[in-house]
Amino acid sequence: MSLPGRTDYIDIHTHYGTKASAGTFSVISLMAHEEIFPESTPGIAFTFGIHPWFLTPTNHDRQLKDLKRIARNSAVIAIGEAGFDKIKGPDNDLQRRTFEEQVAVAEAMNKPLVIHCVRAWDELLKAHKRLKPSRHWLVHGFRGNKDLAGQLVSKNMFLSFWFDFVNRPEATPLIRSLPVERIFLETDGSGVDIKDIYKKVSEDLEMEIEELKGITYRNFKVFFSLESY
């Protein structure tokens, strides 16, 4: 596995084609429906998964087959984004089954899981209780409230904030309420510079950017089971 440096900005979730700034370690999210694979894609660290938006009964088997093959690639450091979406995607049963299949792949490959979840938090929490994963889970693009964040963190999940959420007034008290050992930052392919996100969050936490970089570096090592607390 390729590792970030201690002084790198870590963009834990971005998309193929996003231009990273110098000094940034980017984890590029590839989705099975796109049929874009790590071996032919610029980058050093990837996630690969079946996104609920692009899941159908007719493409499920092909996407799962590709996932099981690509998950063996050492450059794929996590599975996902997998998850639940009550606004866009197929029926709940197919979403649940496919999520569980991706959890099984993550467990078999000893890789963590990156999660997409929209208005389906009960389903996610129930899945975590039912499946009892041994690998870490990361909820990407988080923009919920303190109570929800607390529930997820209490299950030992990590949170990565949605790039636009960090600039909202309600973000500051939420960010300050969370254990820093559970946070990551991301651009999600938005075109926003990850350095600007670090600047805002470091101000919210009343710390220097270098200290925040050190925190996310340690969190990276824990999330990928390279180091324990």
pTM above 0.85, yes or no: yes
Share of the chain above pLDDT 90, in %: 92
For residue range 143-166, what is the model confidence (pLDDT) as tens digits?
Answer: 999 999 999 999 999 999 999 999
Give the pLDDT score at 189: 82
| pLDDT tens digits along 106-130 | 999 999 999 999 999 999 999 999 9
Domain ranges of the chain: 9-223
What residues form DSSP beta bridges with 184? 160
- Nearest Cα to 89, choosing from 131, 127, 56? 56
**Residue written as tokens 């963190």?**
153
CA distance linking residue 76 with residue 213, whole number of Å: 23
Do the bridges between strand 76-85 and strand 113-118 make them parallel or antiparallel, or are there none, so unpaired?
parallel
* pLDDT (average), residues 45-74: 98
Q: What is the pLDDT of residue 228?
A: 55
Average pLDDT, integer, range 2-6: 90
User: Which CATH code is given to the segment(s) 9-223?
Assistant: 3.20.20.140
To the nearest 10 degrees (0 to 180), the angle between helices 209-223 and 194-204 is 100
pLDDT at position 229 over 70: no
For residues 48-70, average pLDDT: 98
Position 22 scores a pLDDT of: 85
Q: How confident is residue 2, by pLDDT bands cut at 50, 70 and 90?
A: confident
